[in-house]
Structure 1
């Protein structure tokens, strides 16, 4: 990506130049960021140095459609930037609009418990956008869409891959970081860092996960954006065993609950699960046991996979309290839902929690996991 986007039509400065639509200004900008001379640019576009100079100074114009289409092609720009509309440009616009819809619908599918379908929708979109990038096109709207699609794909893969392959999900979300960095958009960067940090946490890269999520929180431009980061940062801090950071983040999250509209992750019900797991991870099992019965009722529709996560965590705490019956009931419900949603990582969590104390639950989860692996390999 870097070699094609060294001059980046996707930068804010480039966008201002393109929006103005002045060919002379576009040529000057292109030369400034590529280091080309007017002679070099003339060779690229099929004109001599004098003509390029005249166009840049506004003394000559390029009005015929064929010449403008050729310039757009050589500069790797969609033709509409230079006032040309053709089949290829219509296809480009349709791709962007369709891609934006695909990313949105894939996220809805994932949160509805259909992560496999989300992956199936996002794979071809990412492949098409990356092919366009490899062809030298670095339009702002395409790069932003690519970053969003990569993140969506990585997060969806994080739902459907087993633990030993979760690094793949983290790599996909991480591939969006360079694009987000060059957009210089704090909200966009915070969003990408947030999702990448969470996938790193799931892949076991704990310190890096906390680092990315702290960066995401620092960049978050609004309370709503910060509220999207804090629950994930709390979970990562707990996983790292950093009790002080965990407590600080949970406290701030609770303070925001009355100020910010609740989402599928940012709500008292989800925060209760995060608190339970973090207390256990930071060596405070007694506090977790005392809180396990105080789960608030869901204040909104809970994502199906989140219900599975919550059931497994509650089962873990109940086993710590020596409540095998209660733990078994939770794991049975979690197993059925994890099987329906095809969530291998959560099946592996069930196996770890059940262990030797609930061998039937462990064996049942292992059986479903083996079946899923066979299906994935087929």
Structure 2
């Protein structure tokens, strides 16, 4: 029989609720029994793996023998692919582990702040090294729950940041990274994290043009949500995806729920009266209800302090599209030009591509957009 290799990749079984309960009790006998059960091993096999006799390991499993030597416990942790602190050992390596977790949390916070402030490229630069470090650690078997939770969030964060700075033809890359975050999150007993990953993955799938998959992920994220804030974050993205897909009933229901949630959910850069209005306006236009879109445009709320530069740019393009349908060419051109200036400043090529598509009847705006896109593509290539 081949021996299990503790360093053959991420050991998902240590992240299950049952395994986490065993690890919290720091019971070596339970840990060994669980490891043997999980890998369908005869009683002699853990002894071979750890370098002890079968009878010795048997006594440890039954609790008639205890191991207290720090060196022996560190050796067992290493062979089973566990961090030393599960046996109460605190050493330099464990200190490095805690420092890495703290560092990773800081990087995620700073990257999110940078992205919300309109500096998604800076967020990508911050997140690449963190993701690479976490991926390498997971591949080496260092995959306790804290590391996996951080890895899931880092993968999602990287995908979202890439989704801002990549042109449309490369947005599948962003969706792949958020999908890798979902793959980790769904294995952890953390519905909030799973819903977070699904929300962002669904949104990147929408941007990549995979509408059915986007609606499915966002519907699951909504159903997993436990608070008004989580549900609001999922439902506004569901409304956005449904409008893009032309799924009128899903769109109308989601917008109605967004309006209801404005009374209970917190105002965030993603969810506010301003962003709900933009999603509603864009979805009405996408589902062929131009007259309703024009009426809604006349009731546009102020952006407010929470509105991010990206949402202001998105809103300007949507307003320009609706104005064009109404026949207001000059006003539409002004909105599009304003959006182009912001999109170039914040390096948002796919928003420029929206302007290119929308400005067929505005040749001067279209030429400006094409020139802006060429500069952004050259910047990405460099």
TM-score (norm 2): 0.95
SS at structure 2 position matched to 1:247: helix
Deviates more, 1:15-24 or 1:176-185: 176-185
What's the secondary structure of 2:13's corresponding residue?
coil
Task: Give the structure 2 partner of residue 366 of structure 1.
Answer: 370
Within 5 A, what are the aligned runs for 1:302-341? 302-341=307-346
Task: Give the number of aligned pairs.
Answer: 376
Decide whether the 8 Å contact of 2:281 with 2:318 is kept in 1.
Answer: yes
1:294 equivalent to 2:299? Answer: yes
> 1: CA distance between counterparts of 2:105 and 2:121?
19
CA distance in 2 between counterparts of 1:30 and 1:54 reads 16
**1:4, CA displacement in angstroms?**
3.1
Residue 266 of structure 1 is matched in structure 2 by: 271
The equivalent of 1:39 in structure 2 is: 44
CA distance in structure 1 between the partners assigned to 2:293 and 2:380 by the alignment: 36
User: Bigger CA drift: 246-255 or 149-158?
Assistant: 246-255
Deviation larger for 60-69 or 146-155: 60-69
Of 113, 116, 120, 2:118 maps to: 113
Separation in 2 of the partners of 1:195 and 1:45?
42
Q: Is 1:129–1:142's contact at 8 Å kept on the other side of the alignment?
A: yes
In 2, distance between residues paired with 1:70 and 1:362? Answer: 66
Q: Distance in 2 between matches of 1:17 and 1:87?
A: 24
Backbone CA RMSD of aligned residues: 1.4
**Structure 1 residues 188 and 71: CA distance shift in structure 2, 3 A:** same
Distance in 2 between the 1:234 and 1:360 partners? Answer: 33
User: Cα offset for 1:367?
Assistant: 1.2
Look up the SS of the partner of 1:259 in the other structure.
Answer: coil
Secondary structure of the residue aligned to 2:14 is coil
Secondary structure of the corresponding residue to residue 294 of structure 1: coil
Structure 2 portions without partners, runs of 5+? 1-6
Alignment partner, residue 143 of structure 1 = 148
Matched, 1:235 2:240: yes
CA contact (8 A) 2:267 2:306 kept: no
The question of whether the paired residues in 2 share the 8 Å contact of 1:7 and 1:34 is answered with no
Provide structure 1 residue ranges, at least 5 long, that are not aligned to the other structure. none
- Per the TM alignment, residue 6 of structure 1 is displaced from its structure 2 partner at its CA by 5.2
> Aligned partners of 1:47, 1:301: CA distance in 2, in Å?
61
The aligned residue for residue 27 of structure 1 is 32
Can you list the C-alpha shifts for 1:267-304, whole angstroms capped at 9, x where unaligned? 11111110111011111111111211210123432111
- Looking at structure 1, the residues matched to 362 and 135 of structure 2 have their Cα atoms a distance apart, in angstroms, of 47
1:78 Cα deviation after fit: 1.1
Superposed, which structure 2 residues align to 1:89-168 within 5 Å?
A: 89-168=94-173
Query: Residue 11 of structure 2 contacts residue 141 of structure 2 at CA under 8 Å; is this kept in 1?
Result: no
Structure 2 residue 201 is the aligned partner of structure 1 residue 196: yes
CA distance in 1, matches of 2:301, 2:195: 29
Scaled by the length of structure 1, the TM-score of the pair is: 0.96
Is structure 2 residue 69 aligned with structure 1 residue 64?
yes
The residue aligned with 1:257 is 262
